[in-house]
Structure 1
């Protein structure tokens, strides 16, 4: 009875109906001193790397040779190496699955369809696991790139590259030398990322990424490669372009491959440098703001994403090319997995000839660093999106994206772990003692992470306000005609601050004085006539009553007129009141209202009224007494108590940190939001303006105050910043439970 080995031997002598695809392209290259062949599939735009022996076997597949003949030719060409029929069959099977060979056997269409469906399923799973960056294939840009190639050759030429590098150096020098002034001109976070700038920011990101990808494509053409795929990529919810320059792997020079990988960043850095100079020397306006967007998008994306080799973007491929280690991440991950299987499970695996032999510890550390940095970047992006959506009540969108993204990072390792352990016989090969020790260490690590108390802080915005300020109000309506003080001037009790004018009141006083004079003249006449005329005596009492009433009215009007002269009720320093917002009105329907501060020169002649929200003329303060007024969200207010330490950092003095303690925490929710902290003015607190001009918070918030040390003269009213309140230590388990209990309602 024939055995399995007999059947294999007999089949190996028959003609193998498999042949290499004639349209494949191959390039001979050298990696770390060894010869390899890079094979390109021009239809699927896939690339494969083979050792010289493997490529020789691929070339031997002509559809007429048998496995035995191929083995004999291989051993003749590469002595003293030998190859078994089973190894040939496995290798040819891999070639068939990769689509590099053709077969005349029936049923190939079904296998090709299954292979395509499996590939699409993996692509869909990969896209679902990373919703912050996914791609849609587009078109073949070869004709466009050929048309733009003269521009690309000029841009990537030696003299132009040297000029651009000089430009980048000058821009960087400008920023470093004028850093304090540079930082002071930057808008706040919520001003820059408010809803009005979303469209401009998204458009800037899209345009810069289009130029970035064209930089890759043109550089690939410039160095002799091809580019046949360009499509749409959604990067952090923004549509961008991507360009597939995998054809650079066909180039023998690693420096050219690295240059193609760096071309996109090169374009963006040049754009950022030009935008830096335009922004610096231009006046505020749409051009100035667009340049600021370009600076932010190009610099942040280059530093945080593209240039960092820990993420699978340009920096990763540049490092892979320069080290001559294709599939760097996969090989580093394989090294780490093999080490963990050996140390933790006691599994001994045969050496992989394709893995680097030296510095394996560094490759393993690279995998760990990549994993941790991916989490850092993901959490940073999610925090950024949450802060952008929060002022508009759209935190649920950020939370949904966070859940999907975090699940994507968890799902792949869990699935791979399941696939590893479900292999038959895998569990029996493990050393139980090592496995139990590993499980114990992992459990202890999780317990430490979840149960060990860690420092806890509550972050919230604050505004500097004077402590015990005396507000000077307008008591009588009138036009502001004279202001004798400016913001920051010292005043003494009784010193004249301002004078208002009320012409109707003056006319009323003159009218009353005239009436009083007439009544007094009439009274004198009646007093002379009453000795001879009885009726005149009766009218004296009536006129006297009129005189008394007129005197009372005149005294009231004179008292109101006196209140038009405003004097300092206490000694101190003058500061302006909270600025009045500008309300757009139709000049044909109503007169425009003044805005800003009544102390501003442009508000001379403005009508001030004691009724309404614009009745404060100024405040008089003690320049050494200041408070930080914090706005705490209701989600965190229960963690904040009086007496807790708080560290305060001003936006305009980030180098100086103020230490204080909370001396008061309100128990009632805020009715209005300080204008400078409200999202309506670019602040961090979600708020909306009511028709009466009051700015109300969108979320329930509470105020807390902490005294500030005025040493150094850094403080003035209206400065804003971020407060870090030190709260009792909490474990990660407590934080997770708190988050889940506040996010989801578990009551039935």
Structure 2
């Protein structure tokens, strides 16, 4: 016997209000009171988990309730002439041992009166008007009672006339041929993204630009409107009606919603699943079609918009609407899959029973669930509780960061709205227990205090050692790089990639006529100075001789430098090793400048590891400087290394493209600024990192291929959970202020 939650696209909110009864149900004389069911309710049988149950609806309020068979037999006998003891006797004659007890029958009557499903025989039918669904429901009208800055619901339309107008034009949307077309679109879109994954991830680099944010906002709003329209059309197609359409502002961000609570009239679980999944069905179809068009278009603007449409129609749907821990589409799909209509309420009761068992040593098993559903409901309740706490804390942190001082006030309001009422109920229950059962109160206090102390110690004082690893890339040592010693054109290449050479072998030849011409000119000038010097010596012109000696010295130095450049046009191997260079033969005719990298001449044991250390990892990196650490390879093996140095300055320059998220790497990146140099990569790190160099022993260097992505162990992080959360909040705060 319970209230069946309303089905919105992302929440549980009913609509409508009932007039408050004049008489407190707890003061009734149940031995003489006669009741009758309200004239406007509807009752029909359904099967849930193999059991016969009955659903009760108040059509004008779109509120639904569920009772078991034994409760229904008792309720059906309340005709305004039969007293409760008489109805209970007739029920016992029909059900025997399954008859509700006197206390249970009185609770059923109180429940009927409180929810205005029944009235006293001498009272008129309840008058109902649209304002709120129940005392515990979220306000549906927009007023001061609904001014929660984290969740403001604004109804816009309480009629499904617009749905009936659109229904004939979209009747084939959920037909079997449409489902086949949907599958084809999803396969085609997935294949397009798979084939062009590098390009797709590269296009995501500019996601942080203001233009992209505006495009995502507009596309997201349009998609959500279509999403909610799909829910409404599916509900209409299954024979139910849409009772309300409106907008919910979550931290002032608009989200559309439709109330399809009337789909509880549908007995088929499969039909209700269709209604719940209709929005995701349409969004994924749009995303798949956008992916196919993105792969075919040659327009940069069209590719930009389609790329954002794919992200908005797929990522948000998977992360939010399909999440069963939030009361969105995924939650209602899960409810029907496991055949537990009130999964949220059942899971909350399961968690309360668990806490009651821990605090009092016993708990009444009021659950009618059996088999695998009982542990499933408990696990879901614990997961949903953790998720709700995470969402509440995240929204408060987001409000504090987004709205500065006003955000702190919003966070305080959120703390009051979310935690004040539960705290009040807890204190009331504690006072009542102290007055009625002091031994049980002290037992619960001791157990609760112990659990609270353990929780506080775990979160705030107990260090949690976790391994800290920095992402890195293996490379050859810098001294193995062969660079050009002079400007010139590559004329001849005498080696190839992976070729082994000996010291003295000719590798490359450059040509630069200007160097040869200048070399000959300097040689001629030197000879002329020698002739003039000889003449000055013969004439004993001491001053002239000294000046000519200085000229000869300067010319000789210039000649020596030019000769070195001329000799540098022939690149000779300084030592034995293996040539590493791609497309070396194709570089013939290419002009290179002095200092440009031409190739790598290295041995397999001449490698190092260059790691990118995050700012939060520096506390663990500094103690490891000068010590041995482990380098983890892709095959989960590890090799020893020696942390030689860590650059003292952080940089957002990405040294290795393979570490970028756009190349399936682990580091988040952003787009390059317009004033960047041509030599820079098109992306930069989202957060600055420090560069660390790890020296490898010869045996380790031989086993690690150059260019492989690896991870480097740093010191263990021993921060508590509270310290980690505080660091994350501080980083979010600084990041928000830096981007302003």
The TM-score bracket by the shorter chain reads 0.5 to 0.7
State the shift of 1:156 in Å.
0.8
Is the CA contact 1:221–1:227 (under 8 Å) kept in the aligned structure 2?
A: yes
Alpha-carbon distance in 2 for matches of 1:722, 1:309: 35
In structure 1, C-alpha distance between the alignment counterparts of 2:281 and 2:443, rounded to whole Å: 49
1:631 paired with 2:612, answer yes
Alignment partner of 1:312: what SS? Answer: coil
What is the CA distance between 1:634 and its match in structure 2?
A: 3.7
- The one of 405, 425, 428 equivalent to 1:422 is 428
One of 667, 676, 680 as aligned partner of 2:656: 676
1:727 is the counterpart of 2:716: yes
Quick one: which of 90, 109, 127 aligns to 1:102?
Answer: 127
Q: 5 Å matches for 1:291-330? A: 300-301=315-316, 303-322=318-337, 325-330=340-345
Corresponding residue for residue 65 of structure 1: none
1:247 alignment partner, SS class = helix
CA contact (8 A) 1:336 1:364 kept: no
Give the secondary structure class of the aligned counterpart of 1:476: coil
**SS of match in other structure, 2:234:** helix
Q: For residue 464 of structure 1, what is the aligned residue in structure 2?
A: 474
- Contact 2:615–2:690 under 8 Å retained in 1: yes
Which of 223, 227, 230 is 1:215 aligned to?
230
Q: 2:391, 2:110 → 1: CA distance?
A: 49
Structure 2 vs 1, CA of residues 670 and 694 (structure 1 numbering), >3 Å: closer, same or farther? farther
Q: Which residue does the alignment assign to 1:63?
A: none
1:251 and 2:266 correspond: yes
Distance 2:389 2:350 in 1: 25
Q: 1:478 to 1:461 in 2, by over 3 A?
A: same
| Change beyond 3 A, Cα 1:472–1:445 | same
State the SS of the aligned residue for 1:663: strand
1:5-404 map, 5 Å: 26=42, 28-32=44-48, 33-41=52-60, 46-49=62-65, 70=80, 72=82, 80=90, 91-92=112-113, 94-95=115-116, 101-102=126-127, 123-125=146-148, 128=150, 137-139=155-157, 142=160, 145-146=163-164, 148-150=166-168, 152-165=170-183, 168=186, 187=201, 191=205, 195=209, 205-206=220-221, 208-232=223-247, 241-271=256-286, 274=289, 300-301=315-316, 303-322=318-337, 325-341=340-356, 343-345=358-360, 356-359=367-370, 362-363=373-374, 365-372=376-383, 375=386
Does the 8 A contact of 1:53 with 1:78 survive in 2?
Answer: no
Is the Cα–Cα contact under 8 Å of residues 469 and 622 in structure 1 kept in the other structure? Answer: no
Moved more, 469-478 or 80-89: 80-89
- Cα shift readout 1:500-542 (whole Å, capped 9, x = no counterpart): 4445444434555666788899999x99xx99xx999x99999
Change in 2 beyond 3 A, CA 1:681/1:523: farther
Report the counterpart of residue 438 of structure 1 in structure 2: 447
Q: 1:558 to 1:569 in 2, by over 3 A?
A: same
Matched-pair contact (CA < 8 Å) for 1:646–1:726: no
CA contact (8 A) 2:55 2:64 kept: no
Equivalent residues of 1:57, 1:70 under 8 A apart: no
Q: Any conservation in 1 of the 2:205–2:669 contact (CA below 8 Å)? A: no
1:565 deviates by 3.4
Deviation at 1:220, TM superposition (A): 1.5
**How far 1:219 moved relative to its partner?**
1.2
Residue 241 of structure 2: SS of its match in structure 1? coil
RMSD: 6.2
Given that 2:487 and 2:512 are in contact with CA atoms closer than 8 Å, whether structure 1 keeps it comes out as yes
Q: Structure 2 vs 1, CA of residues 28 and 710 (structure 1 numbering), >3 Å: closer, same or farther?
A: same
Scaled by the length of structure 1, the TM-score of the pair is 0.66
Contact 1:31 1:325 in 2 (8 A): no
> Does the CA-based 8 Å contact 1:644-1:725 persist in structure 2?
no
Whether the 8 Å CA contact 2:468–2:716 is kept in 1: the answer is yes
Number of paired residues? Answer: 665
Does the CA-based 8 Å contact 1:625-1:710 persist in structure 2?
A: no
**In 2: Cα distance, 1:290 partner to 1:741 partner:** 34
8 Å Cα contact 2:490-2:590 kept in structure 1: yes
For the 8 Å contact 2:484–2:592, the answer to whether it is kept is: no
How many angstroms apart in 2 are the aligned matches of 1:627 and 1:463?
9
Contact 2:43 2:54 in 1 (8 A): no
C-alpha distance in 1, partners of 2:196/2:316?
20
**8 Å CA contact 2:502, 2:573 repeated in 1:** yes
Matches within 5 A, 1:595-744: 601=586, 604-606=589-591, 608-610=593-595, 615-640=596-621, 641-642=623-624, 643=627, 645-646=629-630, 648=632, 656-664=635-643, 666=645, 668-670=647-649, 673-676=653-656, 683-684=667-668, 699=688, 701=690, 703-705=692-694, 707=696, 715-717=705-707, 719-720=708-709, 723=712, 725=714, 727=716, 731-732=720-721, 735=724
Q: Are the equivalent residues in 1 in contact too, given 2:608–2:701 (CA < 8 A)? A: no
For the residues of structure 2 that align with 1:403 and 1:665, how far apart are their CA atoms? 48
In 2, Cα distance between equivalents of 1:713 and 1:279: 42
Check 1:481–1:519 CA distance in 2 against 1; reply closer, same or farther (3 A cut). same
Deviation at 1:482, TM superposition (A): 5.3
Given that residues 662 and 705 in structure 1 are in contact (C-alpha distance below 8 angstroms), is that contact kept between their aligned partners in structure 2? yes
Match of 2:576 in 1: 571
Where does residue 477 of structure 1 map in the other structure? 487
- The secondary structure found in structure 1 opposite 2:331 is helix
C-alpha distance 674-162 of structure 1, shift in aligned 2 (>3 A): closer
Q: Secondary structure at the match of 2:608?
A: strand
TM-aligned CA distance change 1:151 to 1:56, over 3 Å:
farther
CA distance in 2, matches of 1:395, 1:687: 27
Q: Which residue of 2 aligns with 1:583?
A: none
Q: From the superposition, tell whether residues 85 and 539 of structure 1 become closer, same or farther in structure 2 (CA, over 3 Å).
A: closer
Equivalents in 2 of 1:402, 1:676: separation in Å? 40
Shift of the alpha carbon at 1:442?
Answer: 0.9
Q: Alignment partner of 1:264: what SS?
A: helix
Shift of 1:164: 3.3
TM-score (structure 2 length as normaliser): 0.67
For 2:514 and 2:118, the matched residues in 1 are separated by 96
Deviations along 1:569-616, one digit per CA (max 9) or x if unpaired, are 33334456xxxxxxxxxxxxxxxxxxxx99695895445245xxxx44
Q: Summarize the Cα distance change of 1:422–1:185 in structure 2 as closer, same or farther, 3 Å threshold.
A: same
CA displacement at 1:39 relative to structure 2: 2.2
Aligned residues of 2:646 and 2:693 also touching (Cα < 8 A): no
State the alpha-carbon separation in 2 of the partners of residues 382 and 416 from structure 1: 16
CA distance in 1, matches of 2:347, 2:482: 70
* Runs of 5+ consecutive residues of structure 2 not aligned to the other structure: 1-23, 92-101, 120-124, 735-740
Q: 1:691 to 1:165 in 2, by over 3 A?
A: closer
Q: Which moved more, 1:284-293 or 1:314-323?
A: 284-293
The 8 Å contact of residues 329 and 367 in structure 1, kept in 2 or not, is answered as: no
> Match for residue 581 of structure 1?
none
* Residues 298, 92 of structure 1: alpha-carbon distance in 2 compared, 3 angstrom cutoff: same
Q: SS at the partner of 1:656? A: coil
Moved more, 51-60 or 152-161: 51-60
Cα–Cα, structure 1 residues 189 and 490, in superposed 2: closer, same or farther, change >3 Å? farther
Q: Compute the displacement of 1:317 (Å).
A: 1.0
Contact 1:456–1:726 (Cα < 8 Å) also in 2: no
Within 1, Cα distance between the matches of 2:502 and 2:410?
63
Give the whole-Å Cα distance in 2 for the aligned partners of 1:542 and 1:626: 53
